[in-house]
Homo-oligomer: A and B are copies of this chain.
Amino acid sequence: MIKAKVFVTLKPSVLDPQGKQVMNSLHSIGYDNIEEVRVSKFIEIKLKSDDLERAEDEIHEICEKLLANPNTETYSWNLEHITGE
């Protein structure tokens, strides 16, 4: 079995209203040390096959087709073999 950890993050040029709101909340309760907050998605995907090359291709496709909005987001991932959990 393979586990993919996929990060889908807003492009740096894209405004992140959720992150901005978290930052404002933190400032309002006294955390003045906070400079910026960006909220992204972290998606863990378990794949049945142990074929790393297949997993690599599938995760790439899945990011393109479903997980990321190519207009506003970028993505990256890493893969690891796992034993059944």
Which A residues fall within an 8 A CB radius of B? 1, 7, 9, 19, 22, 25-26, 29, 31, 33-49, 54-55, 58, 62, 65-67
Which residue in chain B gives the minimum CB-CB distance to A66?
B25
Q: Looking at the complex, which one of B1, B19, B62 makes contact with A31 (CB distance below 8 Å)?
A: B62
Inter-chain contact B39/A40, CB cutoff 8 Å: no
Q: How far is the CA of A67 from the CA of B7 in the complex (A)?
A: 18
Q: How far is the CA of A42 from the CA of B74 in the complex (A)?
A: 14
Inter-chain contact B40/A44, CB cutoff 8 Å: yes
Tell me whether A33 and B7 are in contact in the complex, defined as CB-CB below 8 angstroms, given that A66-B26, A67-B22 are known contacts.
Answer: no
Inter-chain contact A43/B22, CB cutoff 8 Å: yes
